[in-house]
Amino acid sequence: MTLECSSADPDDDEAAAAVAAVYAHLRAERAAAAASGRTGETWDGERWRFAGRAETLRGRTVRVPDGAPTDRWTAAGRTDRL
């Protein structure tokens, strides 16, 4: 699925379409995880928030990999390596 905006600032319909696409993707990921029986703590839905917080505090962009520790204190201690 490709979303195209007609201007630099999307109108309400374009913004709603983008939100709906992201929501559908996250819902599909959760459904796939539930169907496969994966359990345990994951970064699903938390990586972007953690990366944003780390960027605010550290002043640089970080990428939280899938294999990063899910314990926030441990992950926070490793932001210099993210």
pLDDT tens column, 6-53: 567 888 899 899 999 999 998 888 888 777 766 566 677 788 888 888
In a domain, 61, yes or no: yes
Q: State the Cα–Cα distance between residues 77 and 22, nearest whole angstrom.
A: 30
Q: What is the pLDDT of residue 11?
A: 87
Domain that holds residue 67: 45-81
Q: Tokens for 57, please give them.
A: 């505090």
Query: How does the average pLDDT of the chain come out, rounded?
Result: 79
Q: What is the pLDDT of residue 56?
A: 85
Q: State the Cα–Cα distance between residues 57 and 12, nearest whole angstrom.
A: 32
In a domain, 12, yes or no: no
In a domain, 39, yes or no: no
In a domain, 57, yes or no: yes
Number of domains in the chain: 1
Q: State the Cα–Cα distance between residues 17 and 63, nearest whole angstrom.
A: 26
List, in order, residues 6 or more apart from 73 with CB less than 8 Å away. none
